[in-house]
Amino acid sequence: MMERNSPVYNACFALFCLCVIPAIFLSPATGFAQSVGAQPAEKDGVKGGEGRIKFDITDTIGRPLAARGVVEFGDGEGQIVLEMPGGVGTLQSPLGPARVRVYVYDEGVPVLVSIDDIVVKAGVSSFVLVTLLEGSKETGPLRRYDQDFDLALDSFELAYGTDPLDPASIPGEKGFVWKLDTLKAEPGWYRGELHSSSLYGRGQESVAQLVKRAEDLGLDFLAITDRNSLDSALDADFVSDKVVLIPAMEWGDDRRGVALIYGPRTLVPLTDNVSEGQAMLVRVQAQGGIVAIAHPCFPTNPWLWGFSHMNAVEGWCRDWGAAPPMVLGQLDARNLERKDGKLLHSIAVAAATKGKSANGQAVLFWDLEINQGLQAGIIAGSRTSHPKVAMASPITYVYANEKSLRGILEGLRQGRTFVSSGPDGPRVDFIADVLDDGLNYVSIGGVIPINQETRFYVTVTGAKGKRLEVLYNGLPNRVFTINEDEAVYNFVDFPSALGSYRVRVVDTPTDPYFEFVEMHAMTSAIYAREVVSVDPTGRASWIPLKSEYVRPEDLEENIRGYGDPSDSELDLGVELVTPDR
């Protein structure tokens, strides 16, 4: 046995440090693929008019890693995808130049670890070998080595020349730089359309026509949200010196539902993998973008993805009471899970609730998610796809520090929103004065401490004759009849538990369709949370202390009071609640 600190031992150790360790950390095999050669086709039975690509993906001690290989050929004309649960695989490819991407799975999420440009030759097999230092049992999860959440391994990014700290700088992908001009450098409420379609999607108007409509309406912002496409944002007519134009898209499909994505800085491909989809939407958020659930309870495409970490919910799409509700039979098995006979998922509870339109169910879904700890704002959209469909009816208001893309996105991220029936609909502002001392004001989207007396102020404009309702955890808390065109109401409350306050302006509908409440406006929430003062006097400012999560099986308490259901209906089955009246 070699004695430690002997001359031979020291010489061997020095050689190891100088040669082996740098090879591990600097070798192309640590972070990207190598095409190491070819062999005659006859040995592999490759047809003469095509080539074969063989993959072998392992960690540093030879253990196979579940991986995905993507071969892009031609000038982006097509691609072949090969899933390799055992880390090895073979595919036949057209001849000519090809780009080979290798992704290694981390808890179901593919992470980009290599890109190799090769030439596929007739009768020849090319080899793509990847050996990863990161992601083994000894080094921990692979995404630990992805600091910017862009789903590309940091060491590979350094080797490839992209920035491992910029989530929009991704190997082999084009990043977008959007216009950030400030059209108005003042804080305030800005209003606009967040859901519309152009000729690039299912719409019948050009980008220029949609922009002109928004300008003629006097809107402050417009998002054109074509399905799984950013082409509208890349159109030469996607410009305005009056309206903030938000690069946006619908993401998803009718089978599992649709998300609205605002301000992504790279393309967001569609996937059937729920874990991958969630990770891609987190990447959008890391890039500064916003992700919202679109009309989650529309029966044509109900929300089945089950993602967390959403920034907003579209609780009002098209006419409030016109869209029929979804039913439990439209949900998949995962969303119909029960415990002790009770539905576990908010989307299922919404589907089981009678007496509501699709929009009414969407707001119930939003309330239930908030009651479980989500902090997400409410948004609205007309989903206009034709000149005869009124734009910005309903409309979204966003409180922003400035009229710019950056300002609107930040306001959406903070949940500082309210929605109204249209440009001429009611306007609502809602603030809380913590300790009722005129020193600590919290606006929509903010957090107030529990166990502290708080005075709330509501200002309503353009809603005379309608009803103002204050809701706590989605349930009626106080009701005021609005007797003036511009009215201010205040009340004092003492939140003793985690919850949320929001307000809405409602009326009795003349044509009920599927609703017994006509919505005119509603705000996002002010959240009551466990927070602690950062001032020794306890009277200056507050910061969150912790966030509680309400378990899905506790939903029984969360929905109590929606129509005051009987005890027999509290099993969260189909016969759940009676309509709001």
DSSP symbols for 67-133: EEEEEEETTTTEEEEEEETTSEEEEEE-SEEEEEEEEEEETTEEEEEEEEEEEE-TTEEEEEEEEES
Cβ neighbours of residue 478 closer than 8 Å, sequence gap 6 or more? 469, 470, 491
CB contact at 8 A, 486 and 460: yes
3-state secondary structure 507-568: ECCCCCCCCCCEEEEEECCEEEECEEECCCCCCCCEEECCCCCCCHHHHHHHHCCCCCCCHH
- How does the average pLDDT of the chain come out, rounded? 86
Residue 129 phi, psi dihedral angles, 5° rounding = -115, 130
Burial group, residue 66, by CB count within 10 angstroms (0-12, 13-18, 19+)? middle
pLDDT surpassing 60 at residue 327: yes
- Per CATH, the number for 31-160 is 2.60.40.1120
- Alpha-carbon separation of residue 475 from 500, 504, 518 (angstroms): 10, 11, 16
Q: What is the pLDDT of residue 452?
A: 94
In what helix (H) or strand (E) does residue 250 lie, and over which residues does it extend? strand 244-253
Residues 6+ apart with CB under 8 A from 425: 394, 395, 462, 520, 521
Q: Which residues of 69-93 are buried (b: 16+ CB within 10 A; e: fewer)?
A: bbbbbeeeeeebebebeebebbbbb
3-state SS, residue 407: helix
CATH class of residue range 182-425:
alpha beta
Mean pLDDT over 143-154 rounds to 97
How confident is the model at residue 535, as a pLDDT? 57
Residue 45 has pLDDT above 80, yes or no: no
Do 207 and 232 meet the contact criterion of CB atoms below 8 Å apart? yes
Q: What's the pLDDT at 516?
A: 84
Pairing of strands 417-420, 395-400: antiparallel
Q: Round to whole Å and give the CA distance between 472 and 476.
A: 6
Decide the pairing of beta strands 244-253 and 221-224. parallel
Q: What is the mean pLDDT of residues 204-208?
A: 98
For 427-546+577-581, CATH number? 2.60.40
Q: Cis bond leading into 394, ω under 30°?
A: yes
Q: Are 523 and 418 in contact (CB under 8 A)?
A: yes
Lookup result for tokens 């005890």:
567
Q: What average pLDDT does range 326-338 have in this prediction?
A: 96
Phi, psi of 105 (to 5 degrees): -80, 135
Which of 157-166, 269-278, 519-528, 572-581 is least confident? 572-581
What pLDDT, on the 0 to 100 scale, is given for residue 406? 97
Q: For residue 7, name the pLDDT band (cuts at 50, 70, 90).
A: low
Residues 470-514 pLDDT 10s: 999 999 999 999 999 999 999 999 999 999 999 999 999 887 678
- Give, as one character, the DSSP assignment of residue 57: E
Prediction pTM value: 0.86
For residue 57, what pLDDT is reported? 97
Model confidence at 551, pLDDT cuts 50, 70, 90, reads very low
Closest listed residue to residue 164, CA positions, set 176, 146, 177, 142: 146
User: What's the token pair of residue 196?
Assistant: 């519309």
Chain centroid to Cα 362, Å, comes to 16
